[in-house]
Amino acid sequence: MTVLTVTLNLALDVTYGVRRLRPGSMHRVAQPAQRAGGKGVNVARVLHALGEPVIVTGLSGGSTGRDIDADLEAAGIAADLVEIAAETRRTLTVMDGEAGEATLFNEPGPPVSEAEWNAFLARYETLAGEATVVVLSGSLPRGLPEDAYATLIRATTTPVILDADGRALRLGAAAGPRIVKPNAAELAAATGESDPRTGALKLGAGAVVVSRGSGGMTVYGESDWSAVPPRDVRGNATGAGDAAVAALARGLAAGSPWPDRLADAVALSAAAVAAPLAGDFDAGLYATLRAQVRAVPLP
């Protein structure tokens, strides 16, 4: 089993920890954390920590791109990135220690030329053909068409999980991925439907997993189930959805039934909130929650 994660809008994630975030004030920051990021990279980190074979691909450029290459190599995560001329973006997360909240600042993605996109498509077809599951996640950098994910899905015979929003989600879902994983707000924005079941059916994907933060997750489509964590977990929620996608990818590759797959996603997502950096999770909390979370069928 090998999972291929695709991050077209890679980032170098920088995380600052402060005792209390006060707008308009000066803050003293402890040693900042810096490492490769983007939603697909976070998925790959979680899978790697779980002992699952995973490969990262995407578009990477400039000195920031070289920092990303070095960080993935140091972490022991296999990567096959396509180089672009423009500089890869950075993101900044400020963790408020007292409030237990994260504030994010995301730079726009780099411009990507048509030639660079075509080079990626050629590399992707080879990598996807050798994978058990493909994960497409995150925003699209400038220069790529809005149906970029749809193009990748149509070029893939391997089961695909899509985690995107806006038109990229709507157009990608129409191309027939096995699973899509929006949160409730993303689903409503993409479909114009306030009812999640109606919106999920409107997307047209095989299964739609809707995340609701501390309210857990619900899957519609192939099977209708819901799972909720036994308690609220405070911390950095920026990588929680990516941890859920990692669990869904692992479960899809293993052929796990939906109740087990969804319960695992909820437990791993909550355990990720307890970790300070996106892409990590609290292993002890994950084991505890996994033994407690149960999926129940929807009426």
Strand pairing class (82-83; 296-297): unpaired
Three-class secondary structure of residue 130 per DSSP: coil
Q: How many CB atoms lie within 10 A of CB 278?
A: 28
Residue from 13, 147, 242, 264 carrying the catalytic annotation: 242
The reply to whether 242 belongs to the active site is: yes
Which residues are paired to 180 by β-bridges?
A: 162, 208
Q: How many Å apart are CA 73 and CA 58, to the nearest integer?
A: 15
Tokens 């220690």, residue located: 97
CA 237 vs CA 199, 221, 233, 252, 270: distances in Å: 24, 26, 9, 24, 8
Tokens 């972490």, residue located: 75
H or E segment to which residue 79 belongs: strand 78-79
Query: Encoding tokens for residue 85?
Result: 């001329």
Could you list the active site residues? Answer: 242
